[in-house]
Chain A
């Protein structure tokens, strides 16, 4: 079936450290891939997306590249800030009749000053 696997948290980093959150997927077709972020006490927000292989999504210093050969969409940021502390969700969408997002379990990131 279609699924998303992301690294378990929590991930604890010092401010200005490099961030990688791994995400791999299993899909029967050609999905679009997403990273959503949930800040404490808030709803989910779309962080970035990529709709086809080799596309790079980027936003707020975060990047992720759609790698079809490794079925991955790892999230990276060169220098994290305390304000990046949140839960990050990787997701895929195959479109078609249902068009539903399939989410990973989320990764809690805690950035310490």
Chain B
């Protein structure tokens, strides 16, 4: 596609429910990243996929968070048993040339846990 597409754009969920956030990267981009943007916390790295390599999961805040990338394209970020502190904007980005040349970000999913 022309850009990085994320869905849904907004999600309100009840505490304790599971949620799935989707990212469709730019076609041909081999690298895909998930970040979290919380009020007052800046941008926090969550996970990185590069081609067929094992993902770098070092930024996932707890074992309630997981992500997968199917067929080297679409990625899904799953948050189990959501908590109020999970409320944030979840941003996806993709890159074709590695991070030295910058990423293209999607518009994000705003998650609100009530």
Contact = CB atoms under 8 A, between A and B. Distances in A.
Interface of A: 32, 34, 36, 42-46, 49, 51, 89, 93, 95, 97-106
B33 A100 contact: yes
A34 B107 CA distance: 19
Chain B interface main SS type: strand
B56 A43 contact: no
Contacts of B50: 99
Contact of B102 (A34, A97, A104, A105): A34
B42 A104 contact: yes
B99 interface: yes
Interface string B77-114: 00000000000000101010011111111111000000
Given A89-B43, A106-B42, A100 B102 contact: no
8 contacts: A43-B106, A46-B102, A93-B100, A95-B100, A99-B100, A100-B56, A103-B42, A105-B42
Given A98-B56, A100-B56, A32 B99 contact: yes
A104 B33 CA distance: 17
Given A89-B43, A103-B43, A42 B107 contact: yes
A58 B79 CA distance: 39
Nearest to A101: B99
A93 B99 contact: yes
A43 B108 contact: yes
B43 A43 contact: no
Q: Nearest 6 A-B pairs (CB), nearest first?
A: A93-B99, A99-B99, A103-B43, A105-B42, A43-B107, A44-B105
Q: Looking at B33, B98, B102, which has the most chain A CB atoms within 10 Å of its CB?
A: B102
